[in-house]
Amino acid sequence: MTSAVSSCNSRSILTYATVDSFEAERGAMALALSVCTAMQACLTGVLLDLEANMPPSVTSLNFAQMCEQSELREKRNTQNAQALEAKAAERGIPIETLTGIDHSRGVIGFLADHARLHDLLVIGADGAGLMSDRMIAENVLFESGRPMLVAPSDFAGPFSGRKIAVAWDNSRVAARAMGDALALFPQVQEIVMIVVGDEKTIQSSLTASDVEHTLARRGISAKVHNVLAQAKPVGDVLQAQAEAVEADLLVMGGFAHSRLRDVILGGATLSVLKAPRMPVLLSH
């Protein structure tokens, strides 16, 4: 563990990348830094060199060459940590970086343990490697009990969080996701609640006007926006609508059904994780 700044504010963000997916200027690292600035939060960066993600060509090397490759990757990972620390220092963000892992819990258990002690995990959705960021994100969302912010690979900032789009079906997970977003980002001024009307029946005793009025009492401009999927993937529809209303963030409940059912039938969460087009807050 290294520490660029020792003190920490009341809010804390955890971010994760591997030596293969790390980019200091965009993606999860850029989003994590932007969110820390917006939330006045401190940052913990978990940056790992995972052997499971090493390219197949490495297996054709002899032992000495494999050792050299391993040393180069470890050096790159250390340099990545230093680069993240430097970016945080430029913004006055307190930061610690972790470049080693307690293998007794595995990567997912290790990251979930740390995520439980933070307000938010920021992660990318890169699908490369046996232990890809996307696979880690899917599992840690179930294990950690904390909200997760997924970054598109081309995100370069800034992040304001003033206007959010919420995937709304009046479910428990949707309510939790919206509650997490409002707790994390008190700067929210406007909410667009996207209801995909032909995806499933929404059970509620409240009208759209009731919902908008209740949120307006909190000082938030709210609008219920009804759309039809028309056989398009729900995740694509949600992202397209969030982009159309120029939201800073898409908020949605993660894996409302069982993970097995979503894997077999597909699902909005998996669709968004496969190709996030904007920052997406997931809560489970």
Share of the chain above pLDDT 90, in %: 65
Tens of pLDDT, residues 4-58: 444 566 899 999 999 999 999 999 999 999 999 999 999 999 999 987 666 666 5
- Residue 198 has a pLDDT of 60
Q: What local confidence, expressed as pLDDT, does residue 209 receive? A: 92
pLDDT at 263: 43
- Rounded to an integer, the average pLDDT of 54-79 is 80
Mean pLDDT of the chain: 88
**Beta-ladder partners of 121:** 14, 148
Q: Which domains does the chain have, with CATH numbers?
A: 2-151 (3.40.50.620), 163-277 (3.40.50.620)
CA distances, 125 to each of 109, 181, 219, 221, 284 (Å):
18, 20, 34, 31, 17
Beta carbons within 8 Å of 260's beta carbon, 6+ residues apart: none
Residue pair 168/253 in contact (Cβ under 8 Å)? The answer is: no
Mean pLDDT for 63-74 is 84
pTM for this one? 0.89
**SS (HEC) of the chain:** CEECCCCCCCCEEEEEEECCCCCCCCCHHHHHHHHHHHHCCEEEEEEECCHHHCCHHHHHCCHHHHHHHHHHHHHHHHHHHHHHHHHHHHHCCCEEEECCCCCCCHHHHHHHHHHCCCCEEEEECCCCCCCCHHHHHHHHHHHHCCCEEEECCCCCCCCCCCEEEEECCCCHHHHHHHHHHHHHCCCCCEEEEEEECCCCCCCCCCCHHHHHHHHHCCCCEEEEEEECCCCCCHHHHHHHHHHHCCCCEEEEECCCCCHHHHHHHCCHHHHHHHCCCCCEEEEC
pLDDT at 266 over 50: no
pLDDT of 188 reads 95
27-31, 62-66, 173-177, 186-190: which has the minimum mean pLDDT? 62-66
- Is the pLDDT reported for residue 200 higher than 70? no
pLDDT, tens only, 128-184: 888 899 999 989 998 899 999 999 999 998 999 999 999 998 988 899 999 999 999
Which has more confidence, 31 or 196? 31
Residue 259 has pLDDT above 90, yes or no: no
